[in-house]
Amino acid sequence: MYQRYLPYFKQITLLSLPIIVGQLGIVLMGVADVIMIGKLKPVHLAAASFANAIYFFIAILGIGTLTAVSPLVAKSKGAGKPTECANLFKQSIQASFILSFFIGLILFIITENLYWFKQDPTVTLLAKDYLHILNIGTLPMLLFFAIKQYSDGLGITKPSAVITIIALLINVFLNWVFIYGNLGSIKLELLGAGIATTMARCIMAISMFIYVKNKKIYQAYLQAIPYDNKFFFLKQIFVVGLPSGLQYFFEVGAFAFAAIMIGWINEFALAAHQVAINIASITYMIATGISAGGSIAVGEALGKKNKKDIIDAGRAALVMGAIFMTCCALILAVFAPAIIKLYTTDEQVASMAIYLLYIAAFFQLSDGIQCVGLGILRGIGDTKIPTVITIFAYWIIGIPLGYILCFKLSLNLYGIWIALLIGLSLSAWLLSKRFLQESNKMNVDMLAPLND
């Protein structure tokens, strides 16, 4: 069996590694923000947690929708249709503008009415301006992500990783300048972190666009031939991607609502949640890299109408995700106290965050499998049923159970995290089972070409 899956392990690893580096760069921006904000007061950390929960609750709909671009491009490339790739490039950029408009509008309305969420008044006040600044960076963030997905779908994954790492370094430097008031800048504290992040996102979008438009390796895939239905590929992105966006929306939304519920306890609990979820996001983003690699490998096999490769590439991705996240679970369990010390010196926040990390260690395996499961299902174009699974696991089971454990059974914020663990485990089981069933009964000879 090892020999059977070895070629797919190698293929997914080669596809995933640059994506993982890029994903780590993105999440490390958040890690840098939290560590540097954590040097201020617990209330600033709580405000950052609240604001980021709200922001990504809405923005993830755009990110998730655009994840459809890479498997669609991979499918067109696998079918030997470079002009389809070119049309997907143009219309993925159009999709990022459309998504940015609606997401930005929704975020503006929510930011002006943060009192809806009944948080501590000081936390709400600090979060408001921070959220407005983050919202300005929505368009460059989605524009970068759209072009990155196009490049990833072609199997060219290194450029976005390099650009992301450079932007990370710039973000850390700008944090140092604006948060603490260095080099003659005013000390902007939390607002400074938002300005630094937004500036870094602008640099990422501009750099990625210029690179793709000018590098020779992309030129064969940028010569678009207009179709009779000029919005066909834009429609494809939303048809395939919007259910994916809703998957992410309901998953991230569950964690966002968990943060809101924790905010009802006190600011120290919310600060501890921000520290723990920020650490867990590092391993999760690596899993999304494996998921993206698996999605591309499965999508390319789909374009070639090779059922064996579809099945084996998907299974290999699941195994890789499970092995990696098991290793992460052991690291979190052993080194939790040392990791927490990097984030905060507040004893009350640290003591709660350590126990949350122990719970996070338990849900690593489930988190990895469900993340990869969503990716490989997206690779075969199966997005609607996985969306229903996500809603069921998180919003029918996870969130109501979290409320009961936290407020009715007095397990405090730990009850909410235990409920999230149960929701993740249920999602992982149902999604992996779905891929195994759907890929086995798939008739690749009945697949229609993308532009039919």
Q: pLDDT tens digit string along 117-166?
A: 888 888 899 889 999 999 999 999 999 999 999 998 888 888 888 898 89
Question: What does the DSSP 8-state code read for residue 219?
Answer: G
Residue 452, in any domain of the structure: no
What is the per-residue burial (b if ≥16 Cβ within 10 Å, else e) of 20-46?
A: bbbbbbbbbbbbbbbbbbbebbbbbbb
The answer to whether residues 108 and 135 touch, using CB atoms and an 8 Å cutoff, is yes
Find all residues with CB under 8 Å of 35, minimum gap 6, and list them: 342, 343
Residue 449, in any domain of the structure: no
Q: Max Cα separation, the chain?
A: 66
Distance, CA of 414 to CA of 51 (rounded, Å):
21
Whether pLDDT at 452 is above 50: no
DSSP per residue over 352-402, as a string?
HHHHHHHHHHHHHHHHHHHHHHHHHHHHTT--HHHHHHHHIIIIIIIHHHH
Distance, CA of 334 to CA of 402 (rounded, Å):
26
Distance, CA of 32 to CA of 360 (rounded, Å):
20
Whether pLDDT at 412 is above 80: yes
Distance, CA of 153 to CA of 39 (rounded, Å):
40
Residue 422, in any domain of the structure: yes
Residue 283, in any domain of the structure: yes
pLDDT at 170: 93
Distance, CA of 40 to CA of 394 (rounded, Å):
33
pLDDT at 451: 42
* Lowest-confidence region among 51-65, 178-192, 201-215: 51-65
- For residue 424, give the nearest of 264, 328, 284 by alpha carbon: 284
Whether pLDDT at 83 is above 60: yes
Residue 333 tokens read as 């369990």
pLDDT class of 203 with cuts at 50, 70, 90: very high
Residue 296 tokens read as 């591309």
* Lowest-confidence region among 251-260, 307-316, 386-395: 251-260
The answer to whether residues 281 and 33 touch, using CB atoms and an 8 Å cutoff, is no
Q: What angle do CA 353, 355, 356 make, to 5 degrees?
A: 60
- For residue 416, give the nearest of 246, 270, 267 by alpha carbon: 270
Distance, CA of 302 to CA of 75 (rounded, Å):
6
- For residue 158, give the nearest of 268, 22, 326 by alpha carbon: 22
| CA–CA distances in Å: residue 9 to residues 4, 155, 313, 436 | 10, 15, 8, 18
pTM: predicted TM-score of the whole model, two decimal places: 0.75
Mean pLDDT of the chain: 86
Whether pLDDT at 31 is above 80: no
From the centroid of its chain, how far is CA 409? Answer: 32
Task: Pick 346 or 109 by higher pLDDT.
Answer: 109
Distance, CA of 332 to CA of 282 (rounded, Å):
11
Q: What is the mean pLDDT of residues 58-77?
A: 85
The answer to whether residues 256 and 57 touch, using CB atoms and an 8 Å cutoff, is yes
Q: Give the total number of structural domains in the chain.
A: 1
Residue 391, in any domain of the structure: yes
| Parent domain of 83 | 2-443
pLDDT class of 416 with cuts at 50, 70, 90: very high
Whether pLDDT at 101 is above 90: yes
pLDDT class of 226 with cuts at 50, 70, 90: low
pLDDT at 445: 58
Residue 450, in any domain of the structure: no
Residue 194, in any domain of the structure: yes
Q: What is the mean pLDDT of residues 396-422?
A: 93
The answer to whether residues 319 and 436 touch, using CB atoms and an 8 Å cutoff, is no
Find all residues with CB under 8 Å of 276, minimum gap 6, and list them: 353, 356, 357, 360, 417
Residue 448, in any domain of the structure: no
Q: What angle do CA 426, 427, 431 make, to 5 degrees?
A: 120
pLDDT digits (tens, 9 = 90+) for 230-243: 778 888 888 888 88
Distance, CA of 366 to CA of 91 (rounded, Å):
34
- Residue where the block lists tokens 């009944």: 118
pLDDT at 448: 45
